[in-house]
Amino acid sequence: MGNHNHKKNALFQEIKIKENFIKLLKYLLTLFVMILTYTITFHFIMLWEGREFSWITGAYWTLTTMSTLGFGDITFDSDVGKIFSVWVLLSGLVYLLVLFPYIFISLFYTPWMEFQTRHRLFQYNPENTSGHVIITELDPVAQSLIERLESYNIGYVILADTIEKARDWRDKDYIAIHGYFDDPEAYKKAKIENAIMVFANSSNEKQNTVAALTIRDLNPDIEIVSNVDNRDFQDILYLAGCNNTIDITEHMGRSFSRRSVAHKHHVSAIGKFGKLVVWEVPAYGACFQGKRIQDALNALRGLYVVGVWKRGEFLIPEVQEIITPDMILVVTGELENSECLEHIYSSDLFLDSHVLLIGCGRVGRATAHFLQRLGVEFKFLDNVAEREIRAIEEGIDMDGRFILGDGSKAEDLERAGLSKASTVIISTHDDSANAFLTLYCRKMRENVLILSRANLERNINTLHRAGADLVISYASSGAVLIFNIIRKSNNIMLEEGLELFRIPIPKSLQGKTIKECNVRRNSGCSIIAMIDQEGEITSLPSIDEKLPENVDLVLIGSPESEKKFLDQYIPR
């Protein structure tokens, strides 16, 4: 279909060029006839007035008058001649000062600019013509992915189905070419033979299926990843040639459920590197709430507090700092030492508690699935009755759990049990609504744990300011899933703007002490553990002991600080 459209457009351009050429010939012929007629008329009127000029002089007078130059060296004496002069002047205004620029722009300049733009947009000549990622659509997930690719100097190219899109994206400093998702020529121009992955990220699974079929014919070995919203289409995408599919909705639901605190569920692991497990432990309701970090370390025997979240800001606390209810502790250690996590919460506090889900959309229903598996009581608050039926069809037990109402009304929030909720998860598809509901719930329940969804990354800080304890970004969640496939790694995104990552110890750090390395000051990352070649976690040496060789370092930091670490310690 794309190839057919391309040929059709080429044919249309050929016809348009012929039409423009005919229009130009007609204009030039008309202008020549006018100049010839006016020159002859000038000659005869001058003879009638008793003066004689050469034919070249007549053409000279005609052109200077039509172009409004009018030097005044040759003029008529009779009224007839003056009327003729006015007519020549007016016709010259129309044909030379109006029609000529219009014809020049429409028949020459604009087609030439379109050709230059099309030629530029079809050319993809990055410095490194291999190891890049081809993206079939520019959406928030792709934008977030591109930021990570650029941090690791991984190339990319985006396919745009219109010249206007490609031009607009290039103006925004994205690398884009004009091409259709189902056109083999577009992938050839994107150098698919040298690419490492194609991310088929159309919102339409049918288009992603066609894209996968097209790509697989061109490169049988390339990694093809597609996003999928309807799991019924997952098998079709695999049959079409996809190696992996990502379900961002399911991923966000799992993330929300893991971070909720309620009866029978207090905390669960959010990721691991080998035997090193990472937990996020909400301070709300914990035995060390209101106490020092040192007290938390004593309660978390065998585990380490590597940082805390406080309304969107990640901090490396001092041991004497007081733990407030709005903190979420980032804890690491081995799974065998995690039994203490089951005893740090008071069961009485959460005896009648539940998780309140505001929004029964796809993310809300995915979260409910995981909460149901964990045995956590939950309730929905939504203003669309049909969504309850959809949840039941998806296998969610909705007996008494759906409250039809408006989250912006206090009486509806009370009917949904906000006063007894230990965690509120706000997951509508509208960031403005999420910010409003976060602020409103925070006003009604100062200490409740509020988790909120961000659809656009620019609204993450807004949601934190509104009072969210933790924000999970749709775009970043998808980008991390894709990026992990590209790197064949298991980076853990703890929250927007913070990740745990594992990297072989750079040669520049081998044999140096942690004090000498000064990693935290130079890059903003913190080393939290070491993993040997057998996958065993080894504790960090003291600040005055030298770092060993042949180990992997596990660091915590933002994508920006990770890039600084790589630039600082690993020469490219």
Tokens at 151, concatenated: 């941090």
- At 25 the pLDDT is 79
Q: Is 371 helix (H, G, I), strand (E, B) or coil?
A: helix
Q: Name the residue type at position 256.
A: F
* Six token digits for residue 301: 């025997």
pLDDT the model gives residue 454: 93
Whole-number pLDDT of residue 492:
65
Predicted local distance difference test score (pLDDT) of residue 4:
47
The one-letter amino acid code at 153 reads N
Judge contact between 244 and 485, C-beta under 8 A: yes
| C-alpha dist (Å) from residue 346 to 349, 443, 446, 565 | 6, 25, 19, 41
Answer yes or no: pTM beyond 0.85: no
DSSP summary character for residue 68: T
The 3-state DSSP class for residue 376 equals coil
Measured CA to CA, the distance from residue 397 to residue 402 in angstroms comes to: 10
Delimit the domains of the chain by residue range: 2-122, 133-246, 497-569
Residue 327 makes CB contacts below 8 A (sequence gap 6+) with: 282, 283, 308, 309, 310
Per-residue model confidence as pLDDT tens digits over 179-191: 899 999 999 988 8
Q: What is the block-wise mean pLDDT of the chain (572 residues), using blocks of 10 residues?
A: 46 60 79 88 87 87 81 82 87 77 70 59 53 92 89 87 86 88 90 92 88 93 89 87 91 90 78 77 86 88 82 76 86 82 78 91 95 92 94 93 94 94 94 96 91 90 91 89 77 64 85 83 81 73 78 80 81 62
Strands 133-135 and 156-160: parallel
Give φ, ψ of 97 to 5 degrees: -95, -15
pLDDT tens-digit readout, 345-391: 877 777 788 999 999 999 999 999 999 998 899 999 999 999 999 99
What pLDDT sits at residue 495?
55
Query: Residue 240: what pLDDT?
Result: 92
**Residue for token pair 């959809």:** 390
Fold of 497-569: Alpha-Beta Plaits (3.30.70)
In the chain, % helix, strand, coil (3-state, to 5) comes to 50, 20, 30
| pLDDT (0 to 100) of residue 364 | 96
pLDDT of residue 431: 95
CATH C-level class of 133-246: alpha beta
2-122 folds as Helix Hairpins (1.10.287)
The pLDDT value recorded for residue 434 is 96
